[in-house]
Amino acid sequence: AQTVTQSQPEMSVQEAETVTLSCTYDTSESDYYLFWYKQPPSRQMILVIRQEAYKQQNATENRFSVNFQKAAKSFSLKISDSQLGDAAMYFCAYRSDAGNMLTFGGGTRLMVKP
Amino acid sequence: DVKVTQSSRYLVKRTGEKVFLECVQDMDHENMFWYRQDPGLGLRLIYFSYDVKMKEKGDIPEGYSVSREKKERFSLILESASTNQTSMYLCASRTGGSGNTIYFGEGSWLTVV
């Protein structure tokens, strides 16, 4: 079974600074997808960024980028120029190419200090 | 925009009550999911459905059942609610095929007293 681990329960960052959230996963499969989801206090889960395992190039979405290390099974999220609105729970998630189910990590609470 | 709607945001139920959590999606998605969210544990899959009347157990199905009589609606049922089922419940949906994004509802916070 796949597992996803987020080793940082809480992180804080100063507004306008850069922060990196860590995620590792365990799988025996070669084709899969990795995701970062954001859950603000309103509780609506929002997709931040997605990475296909077969792509070597790291995904980027505006201020959000990932560092995908397939051999190390690591998938970290970098948030540049942090904004107050980035404060939320962030979840790393895994889905196999053939599967339907997402497996989530335990989450990292990000606080942004003004 | 895809919309996944959970009928109740906040519920308080008594131990032993039967509880229904309803979820509706408006994008004709084949796959629907019920997750439970607890601090430090992330989201854990309870059940999912890949078609009408079809269901599969997730990681923590004990104490729960589901119903999918129509494609757009997926219900989570707690036959006899217990205090350890106090949690946030999230519904989600996704169309078929690989690589498609999963969409979440706003969540239902259930307190069992």
On whether the CB atoms of residues B53 and B69 are closer than 8 A, the answer is yes
| pLDDT band at B87; cut points 50, 70, 90 | very high
Q: Is the pLDDT of residue B98 over 80?
A: no
On whether the CB atoms of residues A7 and A106 are closer than 8 A, the answer is no
From B29's Cα to the closest Cα of chain A, the distance in A is 12
In angstroms, the CA A11 to CA B77 distance is 36
Tell whether B104 is within 8 A of chain A (Cβ).
Answer: yes
Q: Which domains does chain B have, with CATH numbers?
A: 4-112 (2.60.40.10)
Q: Which of residues A33 and B100 earns the better pLDDT score? A: A33
Question: What mean pLDDT is reported for chain B?
Answer: 92
Q: Is the pLDDT of residue B100 over 90?
A: no
DSSP line for A66-107: EEEETTTTEEEEEE-S--GGG-EEEEEEEEETT----EE---
In angstroms, the CA A75 to CA A54 distance is 14
Mean pLDDT of B40-44: 89
Mean pLDDT of A5-13: 96
Query: String of b and e for B34-70 (b: at least 16 CB within 10 Å)?
Result: bbbbeeeebbebbbbbeeeeebeebeeeeebebbbee
Q: Is the pLDDT of residue A11 over 70?
A: yes
From A9's Cα to the closest Cα of chain B, the distance in A is 7
DSSP classification of residue B84: G
Q: Is the pLDDT of residue A43 over 80?
A: no
Mean pLDDT of B38-62: 93
Taking alpha carbons only, the member of B67, B69, B65 closest to residue B80 is: B65
Look at residue B88 in the predicted model and tell me its pLDDT: 95
Nearest-by-CA chain A residue for B9: A43
Residue partners of A56: CB distance under 8 A and separation at least 6: none
Q: Are strands A88-96 and A32-39 parallel, antiparallel or unpaired?
A: antiparallel
Cβ distance B101 to A47 less than 8 Å, yes or no, reads yes
Look at residue B52 in the predicted model and tell me its pLDDT: 95
Mean pLDDT of A1-5: 86
| pLDDT band at B40; cut points 50, 70, 90 | confident
**Domain holding A83: CATH number?**
2.60.40.10
- Structure-token pair, residue B5: 């709607």
The total number of structural domains in chain A stands at 1
Interface test with A, best of B4, B59, B102 (most A CBs within 10 A): B102
Span A66-80, pLDDT tens digits: 999 999 999 999 999
Domain that holds residue A74: 3-113
Q: Is the pLDDT of residue B99 over 70?
A: no
Q: How many CB pairs under 8 A join A and B?
A: 52
Residue partners of A7: CB distance under 8 A and separation at least 6: A22, A24
Span B12-21, pLDDT tens digits: 999 999 999 9
Look at residue A42 in the predicted model and tell me its pLDDT: 73
